[in-house]
Amino acid sequence: MTATRPEPTTSAAEAVGLREVVEIRRTMPPASVERLPGYLRVLTDLAARGVTSASSQQLAELAGVGPAQLRKDLSHLGSHGRRGVGYDVDTLRERVQSALGLVVELRVAIVGAGNLGHALANYSGFGARGFTVAALLDSNLALVGTEVAGVVVEDVARLADVVRDLDVSIVVIATPGEHAQEVCDVVVAAGVREILNFAPRALQVPDDVELRSVDLGSELQILAFHSRERSGREAAGL
């Protein structure tokens, strides 16, 4: 494993302060939290283009939300745009990053180095959003020792060591569904509290573990439902 630990960045933490971050997390409505990654993406793009300030109208348009919604969400961070000037892009970006806990780069391990594991490990966009794929693990010994995107695949039997040694805080499960719960149990036992599951299984985790599941198939089915509904309405002349 060649990955080195990232240097902690303190500027964002200083900008908001740990106690304030805890308070923001406690009081911010979950729906507002869900929109923060979108705001962060917009602010990161603007900063990369050298834009230093932006109005709520501009930010809202880029993020695909209403300006009133955006102002309300950002007010939970204690950020209020200045009339005629708007928001300072760098300061707001630091606040959003800080509220999301991205003051240090978070280290992710992917369990399952198959098609999906490869695709995720090769995705170059994580770095810009505060994540490093630090480890890739698999039970297939033919894959162990091979390299994907500069990361050497480890035996999943070493998961607890890898989590500890590489300071992994988020694990992505990309194994077949029938193995996902056993993998999940090992991940939880290794002390990981944030899990992103791609396997088509409803996983059971303790209350203090945050589990999110991604299911592109369900998303497509929902789009298919809307497509059918629209065709039906059009056919009926409604």
Ligand X SMILES: NC(=O)c1ccc[n+]([C@@H]2O[C@H](COP(=O)([O-])OP(=O)(O)OC[C@H]3O[C@@H](n4cnc5c(N)ncnc54)[C@H](O)[C@@H]3O)[C@@H](O)[C@H]2O)c1
191 is a site residue for ligand X (CB under 6 A): no
> Cβ of residue 163: shortest distance to ligand X, in angstroms?
14
Which of 45, 167, 210, 215 is the binder for ligand X (CB under 6 A)? 215
- Cβ 174 vs Cβ 110: under 8 Å: yes
> Cβ of residue 137: shortest distance to ligand X, in angstroms?
6
112 known member of a binding site: yes
> Cβ of residue 219: shortest distance to ligand X, in angstroms?
8
For ligand X, the closer of residues 105 and 138 by Cβ is 138
For ligand X, the closer of residues 65 and 196 by Cβ is 196
For ligand X, the closer of residues 17 and 200 by Cβ is 200
Per the listing, tokens 């978070």 go with 106
149 known member of a binding site: no
For ligand X, the closer of residues 63 and 192 by Cβ is 192
> Cβ of residue 227: shortest distance to ligand X, in angstroms?
19
50 known member of a binding site: no
- Cβ 67 vs Cβ 37: under 8 Å: no
- Sites for ligand X among residues 129-188 (CB under 6 A): 137-140, 143, 156, 174-177, 179, 182-183
Enumerate the known binding-site residues for NAD(+). Answer: 112-117
List contacts with ligand X (CB under 6 A). 111-117, 137-140, 143, 156, 174-177, 179, 182-183, 198-200, 214-216
Name the binding residues: 112-117
